[in-house]
Amino acid sequence: MRRSALTALLVSARIPILIGGVALAPAAAPAAAPASAPAPALSSPPENVILLKQLDRGESYSGNWGYTSPSGIELAISGTRTGTTFIDATDPENAHEVAFIPGPSSIWREMATYGEYCYIVTELEGAALQVVSLADPLAPVLVTTLNPPAVPFTTAHEIKIDQQTGYCYVAGTRKDGVQSGLVILDLTTNPVSPSFRGVWKDYYSHDLSLLNGRAYVAAINSARIVVLDVTLPGAPAILGQWTYPGAVPHNTWPTPDGSFLVTTDEVGGGHLRMWDIRDLSLPVQTDEWISPNGAIVHNAYLRGDFCFMSHYADGLRVVNAADPYNLLPVGWYDTGNAWGCYCYAADPTIAYISDIDNGTFILRFVPPSTGGLALEPSPQARPRVLGNFPNPFRPSTQVRFELSMSAPVRLRVYDASGRLVRALLDATLPAGTQSVAWDTRDGAGQRVASGVYYYRLETPSFSESRSMLLAR
């Protein structure tokens, strides 16, 4: 297996990754399309995790994310040294690359998706923010590359997008080598040319997560977690902050109800920590978990009762987090040197790993006998899509759904190619049965043509798409 200088630094020296650094590598031509690669030699047998596919372009890899189109196409997206690879993972065992978008040569690259677009940042100047159209998910296309003055930064370390508000948070930004804060952009008016909405500069923000008007910031250089009120993006306000012994916080992720928060420490022997944050003036660590190999934990994400983590030198780790006071390891697959982890495909058992040395892994987590644990909220707790009536329809239809509890809800209509037709709803609704009308008009108020359309219902912990037929 290949070992880069970065790998040697991370694995053997066991020190945190450089913060805000710039990769001064010479430009390189994109590698050939990835071939299916033999799985790396495992240091230990897998535990409740199955390898479905591995693809490797033969260059170093960095961050990753995913995308589910309204028509059900799944994309695994990974950053490489020379760009970003888009993989059709709808049939995981036959996954294959459908596009490669070149970018500045850098060992750091991160991305996030919103609507039918993917947004990419890196720590090398020349492409501050790349915008890729996923309107045709099997043929992603670079729409534009934004640099100052279109955006107020030249490089960035991380990017996250609030799916409810459409605000994009760009962390670890720099402009001409000078730190320029946590930048907030508005994607709702023009997703190809986002508007500047605000900036927060109290601490260097390495990474963050978002939920219900709050940003949970990993301020790694200041050894602290900071919780921001971002309901007014032009004036983010600190709601709470804390530090702890050995703090090297790299990433954060809240539980869907906002009561608990997982954090990772990017250092040798680094901890996955769970915090009770119901009282931000006095957060309490409820438990912690450390890899038996002492590997550096990089990113951790919650789905259902489980926490999925990427570890340098340890691959994918899965922990049962149903009890915040008792984190239990339940899954492991050693990819070699994992950077990124994504666990939000439509199939909750699927996880994507981007491995620095070995490319993209598509894995399936097979939970052990769980005694009631779930990868998703229970059927009683999650929303229920009741369908649209009538269907087929003209000139209008009602989309009906049921909420078991109050939640932020987004409802959008897409055409058969996956292009957004109209946003029908973006609001917090009470529990109960809801009905939203679509009058067959697009976002510009024009009647759309007959054909198959898709509507997608989303909450912070749930999403489902269904088809409908407009027959004029």
pLDDT at 418: 75
Helix (H) or strand (E) holding 6: helix 5-12
In a domain, 379, yes or no: no
What is the dihedral sign for C-alpha 290, 291, 296, 297? negative
Q: HSE on the CB side for 241, CA within 13 Å?
A: 16
Q: Which residues pair with residue 84 across a beta bridge?
A: 79, 101
Domain boundary among 297, 332, 365: 365
* b/e map 434-459, b = 16+ CB within 10 Å: bebebebeeeeeeebeeeebbbbbbb
| Same domain flag for 148 and 221 | yes
Helix (H, G, I), strand (E, B) or coil at 332: strand
Where does residue 177 rank: exposed (0-12), middle (13-18), buried (19+ CB within 10 A)?
Answer: exposed
Average pLDDT over residues 413-440: 89
| Same domain flag for 341 and 433 | no
Average pLDDT over residues 300-312: 94
Say which CATH number the domain at 245 has: 2.130.10.10
Average pLDDT over residues 107-136: 96
Average pLDDT over residues 283-310: 93
pLDDT at 415: 86
- Domain count for the chain, please give it: 2
Instruction: Write out pLDDT tens, residues 183-208.
Output: 999 999 999 999 999 999 999 999 99
Of the pLDDT bands very low, low, confident and very high (cuts 50, 70, 90), residue 71 is: confident
In a domain, 77, yes or no: yes
| Same domain flag for 410 and 328 | no
Domain boundary among 330, 365, 400: 365
Question: For 213-371, where are the alpha helices, taking DSSP H only?
Answer: none
pLDDT at 32: 58
Domain boundary among 303, 338, 365: 365
Say which CATH number the domain at 398 has: 2.60.40.4070
Chain-wide mean pLDDT for the chain?
88
pLDDT at 145: 98
| Same domain flag for 181 and 58 | yes
pLDDT at 8: 38
Of the pLDDT bands very low, low, confident and very high (cuts 50, 70, 90), residue 381 is: low
Residue 207 belongs to domain spanning: 5-365
Give CA–CA dist 376/378, Å, rounded.
6
| Same domain flag for 393 and 307 | no
| Same domain flag for 257 and 402 | no
